[in-house]
Amino acid sequence: MMSVSGIRPLFAGVSRRWLSAQAAAQATRETQPLPKQDAQVSKLGSGLTVASLENYSPISRIGVVVNAGPRHETTDNLGISHCLRSFADLSTKHATGFAITRGLEDVAASLETSTTREHQIYTVRCMRDAVDTGVHYLNTITNGQEFRRWELRENKGRLTFDLATIKDQLPLRVMDDVHSAAFRETLGRSAYAPEYMIGNHSTDMLLEYVQQHYTAGNMALVGVGVDHSELTKLAEQFEARTGSGAVKQAATFTGGAELRNQCGGDFSLAAVAVEGCASGSKDALALGILQHMMGAGPYIKWGSNQAASKLTQGAGKATSLPFSASCFNLAYSDAGAFGVFAVANAEDMDGVLKGMMKEFGAVTKGNISSKDFERAKNQFKAAVLMNSENQDTLFEDLAVQALNLGSYSSPADLAQQIDSITADDTLKLAKKVFNGKPCMAASGNLGQTPYMDQLM
């Protein structure tokens, strides 16, 4: 006769397998993919724009974007955007600087401020259950500034430190200069204050600028990894001033200028730009394809990049030494700049730049193979989609589109628009921009760096 003890393990095994099956079924139900959410953009009665994208991230990014970048400055308050960026954590009407710092630390949140040529962006990263705290401090920072005189005096060293850290960054200097040569004012203004203005931004000057630009109609509250209805409720508590903000001066590409900074060394850096297109337009996307066709940067680590980049092919004929050759496409809300950027040994810069410009000119004559065009189109689409995986890039893109356009085109939407662009569209635009009025900026050892008229 079979003993009972010999039967128990059999039933125990069945029981365990049954419980395991139940657990697996439960886990399957619990790990069903969450429904994909589209970005939502709405506007409150006050004029404040609210934009969000729920991507179920465990960390929420919330922020305020304001149309108050360097392009809105005047010669009297030059560098004030730099001040606002550096002084974001100073005392306000509702909290001291210490209280702001401690309050954010208590919920393990971080605060960052950044400046583009058109916008001031205040960003808080926090856990999802601390979004209300993050929005509270964003409201305090952007709508309750006081700029107390003694705090400005004690913290002006921040501006000096910033200038010291970028002093020897020649690529930044060249791109700043090419903006100045292209646009003169508006988009030509730097994100950094000139040395002579440090300490000269008074409390009254800062408050006047904030009152003009930090208004509900000129701001957007943006969140990634947050529910739109929740963010909208929090936005209704914002204390933003009423109004649409100061009238924005239109940016005009003037070109024709050349800025050279002879500072010696072994290398030369140069940028040549022509008029581009404003963001949000089909032409700006066509220029994106052209940028990748000319060479937007290396795609293979330690690779030569000569197989894909026409600029590198042209520059490589002039030197066997290391160099960098790339194309940039800068699209702003109402204007743009398109051009080439090069870094090379000083004695090689003449041949490098002329080789790059020769390749650019060849493209305008129809030297575009279907293979090159499709490769560039695929690279551009890949860049758009890959950038969307970066949460910071996704956040800024959502913020700027929502504020400027009142809507949002997803990376997938942009990829479809890129697919609709033909080689003929790109060729026509290439001819148009290449024949535009150029401008140039150069820095370093410029003994062998050609002048603009020698290039064009």
- Where are the chain's structural domains? 40-235, 258-455
- Residue 162 and residue 194 in contact, taking contact as beta carbons nearer than 8 Å: no
Average pLDDT (164-173) is 92
The full DSSP string for 180-196 is HHHHSSGGGS-SS--GG
- Residue 282's pLDDT band (boundaries 50, 70, 90)? confident
pLDDT of residue 307: 59
17: left (phi over 0), alpha (psi -120 to 50) or beta: alpha
Rg, the chain, Cα only:
27
pLDDT at 151: 95
Please report, as a single letter, which amino acid is at residue 60: S
Of 418, 125, 430, the residue nearest 274 (C-alpha): 430
DSSP state of 94: S
Could you give the angle at the alpha carbon of 261 between the alpha carbons of 259 and 264, nearest 5°? 155
* Residue 301, pLDDT above cutoff 80: no
pLDDT cut 90: percent of the chain above it: 76
What pLDDT score does 306 carry? 58
Residues with Cβ within 8 Å of residue 70, at least 6 apart in sequence: 81, 115, 117, 189, 190, 191
DSSP label of 33: P
% of residues, the chain, pLDDT over 70: 91
> CATH number of the domain at 258-455, please?
3.30.830.10
Strand bridging mode 110-115 / 40-43: unpaired
- What angle in degrees, to the nearest 10, is found between the helix axes of 349-364 and 423-434? 130
**3 state SS of 49:** strand
Is residue 201 within 8 Å of 152, Cβ to Cβ? yes
What is the mean pLDDT of the segment spanning 253-276?
A: 95
Q: What is the mean pLDDT of residues 143-155?
A: 95
User: For the stretch 220-257, what's the b/e string if a residue is b when 16 or more beta carbons lie within 10 angstroms of its beta carbon?
Assistant: bbbbbbbbbebbbebbeebebbebebeeeeebebebeb
The predicted-structure confidence for 8-17, as pLDDT tens digits, reads as follows 333 344 344 4
pLDDT surpasses 50 at 18: no
CB 291, CB 329: distance < 8 Å: yes
Longest dimension (CA), the chain: 107
What tokens does 4 get? Answer: 């009972």
Note the pLDDT of residue 200: 95
40-235 shares its CATH topology with 258-455: yes
Q: Which tokens in the block code for residue 451?
A: 């002048």
Question: What confidence tier does 66 reach under pLDDT thresholds 50, 70, 90?
Answer: very high
Q: Dihedral of the CA atoms 99, 102, 106, 108 (nearest 10)? A: 120
The reported pTM is 0.88
Mean local confidence (pLDDT), 28-53: 86
Task: Give every CB contact of residue 168 below 8 A, 6+ residues apart in sequence.
Answer: none
Confidence category of residue 234, pLDDT binned at 50, 70, 90 = very high
The superfamily CATH assigns to domain 40-235 is Metalloenzyme, LuxS/M16 peptidase-like (3.30.830.10)
Both structure tokens of 55: 């991507």
Q: Are 331 and 277 in contact (CB under 8 A)?
A: yes
